[in-house]
A = this chain, B = another copy of it.
Amino acid sequence: MIVFKVQPGEVLGDGADLHGIRMDCGGRGICGKCRIVCRPSAHLAPPTEAERNHLIPAELEAGHRLACQVRFVGPVEVTVPDASLDPAAAMGKDGLPPLMDPDPAVGRCFLDRAAPPRILEGKATGLIEWLARRASATGMPGVRFTDLPLARQLSRPGAAEQDLTLVVHRRRGVTAVWPGHRPRRLGMALDVGTTTLAAYLCDLATGGTVAGLAALNPQRSIGEDVISRIAHCDRQPDGLEALQGLVRDGFNRLMAALLARAGVSAEDVDAVTVAANPTMAHLLAGLHPHTIGVAPYLPAARRFPPLTAASLGLELSPNTPVEMFPLVSGFVGGDTVAAVLADGTHRRDAATLLVDIGTNGEIVLGRGGGLWATSCATGPALEGARISSGMRAVPGAVDRVTFEAGRIRYHVMGGADRPPLGLCGSGIIDAVWALRRAGALGRDGRFDPQHPGVVCDANGRGCRFVLAAADRAGGGAEIAVTQQDVRQVQLAKAAVAVGIRFLMQRAGVTRVDRTVLTGAFGARFDWRSAVGIGMLPAPEVIGAVQPRDNLAGVGAVMALIDRRKAGQVRRIQDGMQFVEMAGDPGFNAQFVGALAFPDQAGQGD
């Protein structure tokens, strides 16, 4: 059972999984699994039709509602019964970064209550310096009081005359002082994506990740992609503040849920690292991203001034240091740097292609210590957005499509017998490749109106391939791949293909030893389908393919747990060559050429 409070106007909707609530139908009010109890029921808007379908009047009267449907008109306390909790909402142990050798930049030391200082051999001392000297004597490095409010707190009568726990950062000095002996040392690694926010709670003493939790980025309410959010900042006088507030509040809720699950306090958190794409980094820090939105697409800052929980509005102890991964360019961000750190691309002899596909695509090529990076505007198609039957990769989504023995088959997330609700990104790539193999799609991406299963309107236009008819789909509407969907996939896959080609040209390689696929979506798709549609080069070019779940998050955890990683982060960012495709005169021609699908026989285009 989980209990939390919501404010009037707040909507849980399809982000209810943030609170660990089951979302089997993706927030459509269909499955009825997200039942919650709200008090007082007088603070609720009238039930929706979906709620009336799943709940009897007495239940509705008592404040029982569906989390994805309910609207709050006053402050409400929400109780989530165990039956509505989704054990999969917390990242499984397998999804968490591995145990690491801990050497964090921040530590704790303990001072027993002691007799106050005296004047010794002609030297007076200050109460606070005396505490610092005692703390240094325990072997703790970097003990300095650099924060005026903390010094004020300690100067208060009685404040220093008790057992104390000091939180000390090697470079920033003492960041917090707690009364008593409080040995727990935790850290938060945050991964800020355009679509998804993820937080990992790490034990800085053991080097282990205690728990992880992901949620939708609440900024989605303002726009699906970074361009629409930058435009919002440009157009609305308080647009930046609104977006900043959304991501800040999103992380505050995510961190609170994570802390509550682990049964620990925000005061136990001593450090935060943040891996974010450039626009998300700007919006979280409150920097205006307008320069990212216009050529030459540069960020306001690639490295950020020293950040604290307070300066970002994160609800942790105010001086908690926040280390933001530096950015490479306006579209290659701290998440990419973190992914390189996690993969070790920068230290490998093997030539490596690192492909992070989300709403935007970032590609890195590493070879003998050299690093080249570029970004490509894939659009949200590969994450299931702007696709006619698109949806997120949640239970009910068609995530695998195959062409076997002359038939197109699909697989539904969360159970074989489940009716499909839509297509997620991996399903779309699979579907296009299956349709190519089935001969339903030409090299140019057009449907063959004659092909069985392809449905067109009277004049042979508006063709689509119906994967599941309305009566077999869970949402009551057919699940299809339309001509427009195929175009979206073509645009996205061409952007990735040309990006890889540019990087390989710049680095002077014709093949790599290994290809790492990561990102919210990148690790989930079938790379063979991606090769089939020409998004990735032929297998002999891309070497061994390794899907790695959420490398950026792993990099953020690494930097949190091991302070020596900071130097590597700097070298990665410093050394990375940014390959600008937009300004290249050959780009347009290459891009248009890459729209077509490869021949079915081979992988060339």
Q: Measuring CB to CB, which residues of chain A are less than 8 angstroms from any residue of chain B? A: 116-119, 122-129, 145-148, 150-152, 154-157, 234, 282, 285-291, 296, 298-307, 311, 327-330, 332, 372, 577-580, 583
B126 touches A286 (CB 8 A): no
A303 touches B157 (CB 8 A): no
B304 touches A148 (CB 8 A): yes
In whole Å, how far is A106's beta carbon from the nearest beta carbon of chain B? 18
Residues of B within 8 A of A298 (CB): 116-117, 119, 124-127
Q: What 4 A-B pairs are tightest by C-beta distance, nearest first?
A: A124-B329, A122-B577, A155-B300, A155-B288
B578 touches A305 (CB 8 A): no
In whole Å, how far is A531's beta carbon from the nearest beta carbon of chain B? 28
Selected from B129, B157, B285, B296, the residue in CB contact (under 8 A) with A301 is: B129
Given A123-B577, A124-B298, A150-B305, 8 additional A-B pairs, CB 8 A: A116-B296, A118-B296, A119-B583, A124-B299, A148-B304, A148-B307, A151-B301, A156-B288
B301 touches A155 (CB 8 A): yes
B583 touches A300 (CB 8 A): no
Q: Nearest CB to that of A372 among chain B residues?
A: B122
B287 touches A155 (CB 8 A): yes
Docked CA distance A311–B127 (Å): 21
Residues of B within 8 A of A154 (CB): 300
A152 touches B299 (CB 8 A): no
In whole Å, how far is A201's beta carbon from the nearest beta carbon of chain B? 25
Residues of B within 8 A of A123 (CB): 577-578
Residues of B within 8 A of A329 (CB): 119, 124
Count of identical protomers in the assembly: 2
Known A-B contacts A148-B311, A152-B287; A125 and B306 likewise in contact (beta carbons under 8 Å) = no
Residues of B within 8 A of A124 (CB): 296, 298-299, 302, 328-330, 332, 578
Known A-B contacts A117-B298, A291-B116; A304 and B122 likewise in contact (beta carbons under 8 Å) = no
Known A-B contacts A305-B146, A580-B119, A583-B119; A157 and B288 likewise in contact (beta carbons under 8 Å) = yes
Please report whether the interface of chain A is mostly helix, strand, loop or mixed according to DSSP: loop
A301 touches B127 (CB 8 A): yes
Residues of B within 8 A of A145 (CB): 301, 305
Docked CA distance A191–B459 (Å): 90
Known A-B contacts A147-B305, A290-B157; A299 and B580 likewise in contact (beta carbons under 8 Å) = no
Docked CA distance A129–B574 (Å): 13
Known A-B contacts A156-B288, A157-B234; A299 and B122 likewise in contact (beta carbons under 8 Å) = no
Residues of B within 8 A of A125 (CB): 298, 302
**Residue with the highest number of chain B CB atoms closer than 10 Å, among A290, A328, A372:** A290
In whole Å, how far is A81's beta carbon from the nearest beta carbon of chain B? 42
In whole Å, how far is A244's beta carbon from the nearest beta carbon of chain B? 10
Docked CA distance A287–B453 (Å): 79
Docked CA distance A578–B124 (Å): 7
Residues of B within 8 A of A578 (CB): 119, 122-124
Known A-B contacts A117-B298, A145-B301; A282 and B129 likewise in contact (beta carbons under 8 Å) = no
Residues of B within 8 A of A300 (CB): 126-128, 151, 154-155
In whole Å, how far is A499's beta carbon from the nearest beta carbon of chain B? 15
Docked CA distance A126–B326 (Å): 11
Residues of B within 8 A of A285 (CB): 148, 151-152
In whole Å, how far is A274's beta carbon from the nearest beta carbon of chain B? 14
Selected from B151, B282, B299, B577, the residue in CB contact (under 8 A) with A305 is: B151
In whole Å, how far is A115's beta carbon from the nearest beta carbon of chain B? 11
A151 touches B328 (CB 8 A): no
Residues of B within 8 A of A307 (CB): 148
B152 touches A302 (CB 8 A): no
B583 touches A129 (CB 8 A): no
Listed by A's residue number, 30 A-B pairs whose Cβ atoms lie within 8 Å are A119-B296, A119-B298, A119-B329, A119-B578, A122-B577, A123-B577, A124-B296, A124-B328, A124-B330, A124-B578, A125-B298, A125-B302, A127-B291, A127-B298, A127-B300, A128-B301, A129-B303, A145-B301, A145-B305, A146-B305, A147-B305, A148-B285, A148-B305, A148-B306, A151-B300, A154-B300, A155-B282, A157-B234, A157-B288, A157-B290
In whole Å, how far is A354's beta carbon from the nearest beta carbon of chain B? 17
Residues of B within 8 A of A330 (CB): 124
B156 touches A327 (CB 8 A): no
Docked CA distance A234–B155 (Å): 12
